[in-house]
């Protein structure tokens, strides 16, 4: 079974000058989910939305082409795709000739679906598509203005999470730009804005902010961190509905934006924020 430490993370690699799907590296989701008490029956629906800002290939005559890629990996897929391996794979397309952009899309769809173990959605957009480039803050009430002292930066501290048991049911969307986690192999920081939308008893805002800050020294991949946040809030605050959406800043021309929700039918946006 592949682990993060078996991947190319933290290692010097030369990549490939020609198309090479063998560069893709799958990491099983199940072991980390087991740590959270998640079995085969997932407590959420979701998707990992990737934006690839450095996609390029050659047309049939050798002329370079560029595009923005949007990749959607379903949360129910057995594997996540390790990001450095995806970067190396996409680089292997740089000097590969394709008849047209649809041939590129079909190739990437086939290879990523095989790596993830489930169908992956792939869209390519031209750089002139202004809608893809729109930047706006995540909708919701910001938690970050709270006047608090903080002295716990890891591991994630679920004791901060609490809801008002006797209060009326509310619907709230809460946002923080203070989420920081770390790569489990290299220790490099990963920065994100996170949006938490729920229906249920009011969640204590100060406690929620302290909980998010307590990820500051936590080592896990983006997808695993978002699933931990989702499961912790679900277990400790018991909302009727819950979604957690994190927008991570890009690294190596890629950003990863996991979304997990109790609502399987929800439309998952791909809204860039200021740091993306």
**CA nearest to 208, candidates 260, 146, 131:** 146
Catalytic-residue membership of 232: no
Which of the residues 115, 183, 225, 237 is marked catalytic? 183
Catalytic-residue membership of 183: yes
Residue 142 pairs in a beta bridge with 175
Which of the residues 48, 111, 190, 219 is marked catalytic? 190
Among all chains, which residue has been given the structure tokens 């924020």?
273
Q: Is 256 helix (H, G, I), strand (E, B) or coil?
A: strand
In 167-227, DSSP assigns E strands to 170-182, 189-200
β pairing state of 141-142 and 170-182:
parallel
d(C-alpha 89, C-alpha 232), whole Å: 34
Q: Residue ranges of the alpha helices (H) in 28-76?
A: 30-35
d(C-alpha 273, C-alpha 69), whole Å: 17
Name the residues annotated as catalytic.
183, 190
């Amino acid at each position: 079974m592949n682990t993060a430490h078996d991947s190319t993370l933290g290692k010097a690699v030369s990549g490939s000058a020609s198309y090479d799907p063998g560069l893709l590296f799958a990491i099983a989701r199940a072991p980390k989910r087991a740590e959270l008490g998640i079995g085969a029956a997932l407590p959420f629906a979701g998707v990992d939305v990737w934006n690839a800002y450095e996609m390029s290939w050659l047309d049939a005559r050798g002329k370079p082409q560029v595009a923005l890629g949007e990749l959607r990996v379903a949360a129910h897929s057995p594997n996540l795709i390790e990001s450095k391996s995806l970067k190396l794979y996409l680089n292997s397309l740089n000097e590969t000739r394709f008849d047209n952009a649809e041939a590129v899309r079909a190739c990437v769809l086939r290879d990523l679906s095989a790596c993830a173990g489930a169908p992956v959605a792939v869209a390519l957009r031209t750089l002139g598509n202004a809608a893809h480039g729109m930047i706006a803050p995540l909708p919701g009430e910001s938690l970050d203005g709270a006047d608090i002292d903080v002295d716990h930066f890891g591991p994630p501290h679920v004791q901060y999470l609490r809801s008002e048991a006797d209060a009326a049911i509310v619907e709230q969307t809460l946002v923080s730009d203070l989420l920081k986690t770390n790569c489990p192999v290299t220790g490099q920081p990963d920065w994100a804005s996170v949006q938490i939308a729920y229906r249920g008893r009011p969640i204590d805002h100060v406690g929620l902010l302290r909980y998010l800050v307590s990820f500051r020294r936590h080592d896990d991949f983006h997808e695993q961190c978002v699933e931990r946040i989702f499961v912790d809030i679900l277990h400790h605050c018991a909302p009727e509905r819950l979604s957690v959406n994190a927008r991570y800043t890009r690294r190596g021309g890629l950003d990863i934006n996991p979304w997990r929700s109790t609502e399987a039918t929800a439309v998952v946006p791909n809204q860039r924020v200021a740091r993306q």
